[in-house]
Structure 1
């Protein structure tokens, strides 16, 4: 699933009050997660830890820049239930 699809899947409907954990994700050429860093807490350490674990398990589309592939960081908002 592409990164944009992952982001859209985690959006909340209008009027809903859900907290989000913001993480930075380092992806390799193949879209595998290499590192995950907490950028902004949702206010609950256990839910932040759960978000980090879930993001580590995700797979993303391959990234390409021109004719070569690149490692890249992305920010991802993970909705906390």
Structure 2
């Protein structure tokens, strides 16, 4: 069984809008979904697109404690999403 790579994902949401996701460990990777349950798959797709030319470039995840108290992440919530790079 492959090792899980649980990345911290900051989720923000406003009424009548999609859920937005920011991955602090992966600058430039953002995602959104209308339903929270869809968000992990949308995040994995965004990561795959960002790193499609070289999945080996995906940096390892940081502990969620690296980000949880930072001011720029106030007002939302966190989730951990397994992102396991697929090597060709």
Please classify the TM superposition score into its range, dividing by the shorter chain length: 0.3 to 0.5
Q: TM-score scaled to structure 1, two decimals? A: 0.38
Q: TM-score scaled to structure 2, two decimals? A: 0.36
Q: Higher strand share goes to which structure? A: 1
